Structure 1
Amino acid sequence: MMREIPISVLDLAPIVADGTAADSFRNSLDLARHAEQWGYQRYWLAEHHSMPGIASSATSLVIGYIAAGTQKIRVGSGGIMLPNHAPLVIAEQFGTLETMFPGRIDLGLGRAPGSDQLTARALRRGLASGGQDFPELLSELQAYFDPARESDYRPLGVSAVPGEGLHIPIWLLGSSGFSAELAGKLGLPFAFASHFAPDYLLPALELYRRNFQPSDVLDKPHAMVGINIIAADTDEEARRLATSQQQQFLNIIRGRRGQLRPPVDSMEPLWAPHEKEYVLKQLSYSIAGSKQTIREKLPYILEQTGADEIIVAAQVYDHNARLRSYQLVSEAVQSAN
């Protein structure tokens, strides 16, 4: 049996082969509108840079575009890579979003660059690189929203307008133990990127829960787990659709960047045995199948992780097939509930 659990969308705003960023934005808005109808709780977009296949580099702008085109679904970042930005800028941007769309904005924060080190240097320039100062940047950001909060990092006399006094949920995101432990100590919700970094999922969740200290935000731990779920009317078709995502991971380990490729009938001609092993390992928290297959496999992940929410990534080449995938996932979860 699958316990009742909120589901959300993680949109990497894919630019497909022979497509454009403009196509990606239109498709994202269309997906968000459908996700709202299908009962998804959140619609998150991720910050990536210098990647030809991902359109959400200006994440705050895309969040505003999605929020303006929907009615009630929460829209946010999964995440904003805080070391790339001055905390005051993020406080102002998300203060503006929350003012425009009250009660609907989430601020998920990560400490990775969201790209390679060369791009990180181009982004961060005079800012500290490597993410070592993430706790200090977070403290400064929180103090802009709540000036009564003690922080040694917010400059006196500087305010975020809009932003100050607004209650915007802050999540910490991660693929290792650093953010898990920090989220626990600060009493913040935590989301783990198991959709691309599964190895440390269970230790990170244990570390988060073990270090959790109640706060004015949460009285107990709250963890979200990222899962790749690609659904279709048959298992065979779902597995075929999933080859676009497998090709994307294959290109990453080969050091190649490009747009999301069409699915193929078989991956065997495309990868070497060691590459296949690595890609499948990185995608171990993934499900590709029919509604019945999702109903059979998802409860195991929920039981294993104890997740309070799941957020679903689906790198599907064809937009209509992507819509159908998210619809089937919603139906599978709702029927099981």
Structure 2
Amino acid sequence: MTAEEPKVAPLSILDLAPISAGSDAATALRNTVDLARRAEQWGYRRYWVAEHHFVSVASSSPAVLVGQIAAATERIRVGTAAVQLGHTTAVAVVESFATLAAFYPGRIDLGVGRSGQKRAEAVRDRPREPRPPREWHEIDGVVIPTPYDVAALMRDPRLRSRMAVLQQTGAVTPDFAEQLDDILAMLTGSYQVGTVVPGVGADLTPWVFGSTKGQSARVAAARGLPFVASYHITPATALEAIEVYRNGFTPSAYLSEPYVVVSADVVVADDESTARHLASSYGHWVHSIRAEGGAAPYPDPDDSRPLTAEQLDVVRDRTATQFVGDPDQVAARLEALQRLSRADELVITSVTHRHDDRLRSHQLLAERWGH
């Protein structure tokens, strides 16, 4: 390794507890705990779970799921990717995760994001017509599409009703920065309203998740917190978000210098042909999220017809930026992503219809990465 080459970033896992076609939520949750146990054995650093609602994934209650995973494992850090602050309150978040941190000291990560607020904005603002990406830049296998209006794809008339039931009637979500400041104050004991118990002194560092150069990146930088850039969700803007974060970073009690985690969607198999078949229904799943009102159960690639040209236009940025192949091929693209982003850590998500294939994907990559 030369002085210019970055150290190999540690790998972590982001899990959605996906429900496969023909299966159910209980099975998905058991599969998540099973994968977490194995991830610990394979040397992954963290195991994070996403928060999603009204879709066919079983990670709708992340604090509960984090507790179950932490109880089933011994060393791996467990956390959220991320709690949607737009659907809850700062005090509820601190009380839940400080309780977990008391049970599992040194092992709980509190990831927070403004997804709930972004969806509320999409409902409130009149969406523009979607414009599929028309230009592509590729660097060592890392694809960067031209940005376009993903929010405009949220056309389902039920979205407004869904946003309403995720909050108490009449509730108004505070600004993301205000909520984050409240969380930090509760953890340090400087919250003006009173002492939050458990909370004060809890071994928790908020991780800010973001996908653009907007508020999340700026707030993470100003508060001196670690930043997670969601390349696997918004590949067109993740690198810009990292640049804004690094340029604006202010040292804090949490970090003396920026710490960047970058996400990637991968499918790994023993050979490229198998991996591409396993990933062939991924576009169908993304299309159901973006254009059909919510993720359908993850399709079986054996039963999935090719997407139409119109459907491909909706999901092309996600399918083109998924890393699919044998262990060497996927590792090479992850290494390129690390170099391009200067990531300190990579978090990967791997979704397949069959649980055994998902286990194999994570195992092969861990072995190739050098865990």
Q: Same-fold call, TM > 0.5?
A: yes
Q: Does residue 63 of structure 2 align to residue 77 of structure 1?
A: no
TM-score (norm 2): 0.83
Deviation at 1:245, TM superposition (A): 1.9
1: CA distance, partners of 2:94 / 2:306: 45
Partner of 1:262: 300
* Structure 2 residue aligned with 1:120: 163
1:169 counterpart letter in structure 2: T
Deviation of 1:275 after TM superposition, in Å, equals: 2.5
Tell me whether 254-263 or 317-326 shows the greater mean CA deviation: 254-263
Within a 5 Å distance, the mapping from 1:110-259 to structure 2 comes to 110-113=113-116, 116-125=159-168, 126-129=170-173, 133-148=175-190, 154-156=191-193, 158-177=194-213, 178-257=215-294, 258-259=296-297
Supply the distance in 1 between the matched residues of 2:263 and 2:331 (Cα, whole angstroms): 17
User: How much does 1:254 deviate?
Assistant: 2.7
Q: Identity over the aligned pairs, expressed in percent?
A: 35
Secondary structure in structure 1 of the residue aligned to 2:69: helix
Within-5 A mapping of 1:38-53: 38-51=42-55, 53=56
1:90 maps to 93
The answer to whether 1:108 aligns with 2:111 is yes
Amino acid at match of 2:94: A
Distance change >3 Å, CA 87–CA 246, structure 1 → 2? same
Separation of aligned partners in 2, 1:127 and 1:81: 15
CA distance in 1 between counterparts of 2:42 and 2:317 reads 31
Name the SS for the 2:281 alignment partner.
Answer: helix
CA contact (8 A) 2:9 2:338 kept: no
**Partner residue of 1:309?**
345
Paired with 2:302 and 2:238, the residues of 1 have a C-alpha distance of: 30
Counterpart Cα distance in 2 of 1:318 and 1:176? 32
User: Does the residue aligned with 2:208 lie in a helix, a strand or coil?
Assistant: strand
Offset at 1:246?
A: 1.7
Structure 2 partner of 1:297: 333
Is 1:63–2:66 an aligned residue pair? yes
Which SS does the other structure have where 2:20 is aligned? coil
For structure 1, the 5+ residue unaligned runs are: 149-153
> Residues 50, 278 of structure 1: CA spacing in aligned structure 2 closer, same or farther, 3 A cutoff?
closer
* Matched residue, 1:151: none
Match of 2:134 in 1: none
* Offset of residue 222 of structure 1: 0.6
SS of 2:363's partner is helix
Instruction: Spell out, residue by residue over 1:62-100, the C-alpha distance to the aligned partner (whole angstroms, 9 max, x if none).
Output: 000000000000000000011211111111100110001
Question: How do 1:279-298 residues align onto structure 2 when only pairs under 5 Å count?
Answer: 279-298=315-334
Q: Which amino acid aligns with 2:209?
A: L
User: 1:143 & 1:188 partners in 2: Cα distance?
Assistant: 14
What is the distance in 2 between the residues matched to 1:117 and 1:282? Answer: 25
Is the contact made by 1:198 and 1:284 (CA closer than 8 Å) also made in structure 2? no
Deviations 1:275-304 (A, max 9, x none): 324422124432111012123322211111
Name the structure 1 match of 2:153: none
Deviation at 1:270, TM superposition (A): 3.2
- Structure 2's unaligned 5+ residue stretches are 120-158
Amino acid at match of 2:312: K
- Are the equivalent residues in 2 in contact too, given 1:248–1:260 (CA < 8 A)? yes
Deviation at 1:328, TM superposition (A): 0.8
SS state at 1:240 partner: helix
TM-score (norm 1): 0.91
Match of 2:9 among 5, 11, 25: 5
Say yes or no: does 1:27 pair with 2:31.
yes
**What value does the CA root-mean-square deviation take over the aligned residues?**
1.8
Matched letter for residue 230 of structure 1: V
Contact 2:189–2:200, Cα closer than 8 Å, also in 1: yes
Q: Partners in 1 of 2:332 and 2:313 — Cα distance?
A: 24
> Counterpart in 2 of 1:54?
57
Give a deviation string over 1:197-249, Cα, whole Å, max 9, x none.
11101111110001001111111111111100110001011111112322101
Distance 1:137 1:296 in 2: 39
2-side partners of 1:273 and 1:79: how far apart?
33
Q: Letter of the 1:118 partner, please give it.
A: S
SS in 2 for 1:249: helix
Bigger Cα displacement from structure 2, 71-80 vs 178-187: 178-187
> SS at 2:82's partner residue?
strand
Name the stretch that deviates more: 300-309 or 271-280. Answer: 271-280
Displacement over 3 Å in runs of 4+: 114-117
State how many pairs are aligned.
Answer: 324
Q: 2:232 is paired with a residue of what secondary structure?
A: coil
Q: Secondary structure at the match of 2:370?
A: helix
